[in-house]
Amino acid sequence: MSVTILPAVPSDLADIWAIEQTLTGPWTYGQLEGELTISHGWQFVAKGSDGKVCGYLFGITVIDEAEIRKVAVASAWRRQGVASLLLTAACQRLSLQKISSCFLELRLSNIPALKLYQKNTFQVVGQRKSYYTLPTEDAMILKKSFK
C-alpha cells in the first residue's frame, strides 16, 4: 500500500465528493466545500500512488480543544490502514499545537471505527440520543487527551 497524507485542497473536492456519496448519511457538496474554508479548520487527504484521494479527515480547533468532524475512506481502501494514517497525521498536528483534547462523535453501530479510535487512546465519554439521521442512531462521544 502506497499512501501519502497531505493537506486537503479545493482540487481534491471531486474525489472527496465521490467517496462521500458511498457513505451512510452523506454530507452535501456545499458542506464538504465549506470545511475547506473554515479559518480554524484542518483537513487531510490520503492519496494513493495514482494521485486520487482514497480517504479524508476534517477537523476544527477552538482555543485548546479540537473536534474531528469527518473521517472517510473509499470502500476499496478500507481495512488497509488509511484511516489510521489520517488519524495519526491529525493527532501529530494537534500535539504540536499544544491542544489539550480532541473530541468526536461516532455511530453506536460503527464498531470498527470505535476499535481504531480506542487503539489511538480515545475514550468513550458520553452519548448523544438520536444524533444521526438516515438512519436515526445514537452517537458515542469520544475524547483523546493530549496533556
Average pLDDT, the chain: 95
- pTM exceeds cut of 0.75: yes
Q: Which domain holds residue 119?
A: 3-145
21 Cβ contact list (under 8 Å, min separation 6) = none
Read off the DSSP letter of residue 116: H
- Helix, strand and coil percent figures for the chain, each rounded to 5: 30, 40, 30
CA 2 to chain centre: 20
Residue 106 β-bridge partners: 140
CATH code for the domain of 38: 3.40.630.30
- Total domain count, the chain: 1
Whether 82 has a pLDDT exceeding 70, the answer reads yes
pLDDT exceeds 80 at position 7: yes
Q: What is the pLDDT of residues 36-77, one digit of tens each?
A: 999 999 999 999 999 999 999 999 999 999 999 999 999 999
For residue 146, which of 71, 86, 96 has the smallest C-alpha distance? 96
> How large is the average pLDDT for residues 30-35?
96
pLDDT band at 138 (very low <50, low <70, confident <90, very high): very high
